């Protein structure tokens, strides 16, 4: 039955390949980004909930605010 369902879609063989490629690439890019992202930006983002109310500057204006 499973075969019939999948055979009725044109070029269904490409589906799992596309899915795998999407997943693989997405997570590779994500991990690459996370490992290489600017450290001061991470510190800035981390501080958003705890520093609120006292902080009037944005990361782009003053990157050294949160060492």
Interface residues with other proteins (CB under 8 A) are: 1-2, 4-6, 8-9, 15, 19, 22-23, 26-27, 30-31, 33-38, 41-42, 44-50, 52-53, 56-61
Q: Quote the least distance from Cβ 65 to other proteins, whole Å.
A: 12
From the list 30, 43, 51, the residue with the least C-alpha distance to 59 is 43
Q: How far is CA 60 from CA 10, 41, 44, 50, in A?
A: 49, 9, 10, 19
Q: Using the 8-state DSSP alphabet, how is residue 29 labeled?
A: H
Q: Quote the least distance from Cβ 35 to other proteins, whole Å.
A: 8
Q: Quote the least distance from Cβ 53 to other proteins, whole Å.
A: 6
């Amino acid at each position: 039955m499973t075969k019939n369902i999948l055979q009725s879609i044109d070029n269904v063989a490409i589906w799992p390949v596309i899915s795998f490629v999407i997943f693989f690439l997405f997570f590779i890019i994500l991990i690459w980004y996370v490992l290489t992202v600017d450290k001061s930006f991470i510190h800035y983002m981390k501080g958003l909930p705890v520093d609120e109310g006292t902080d009037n500057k944005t990361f782009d204006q003053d990157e050294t605010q949160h060492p």
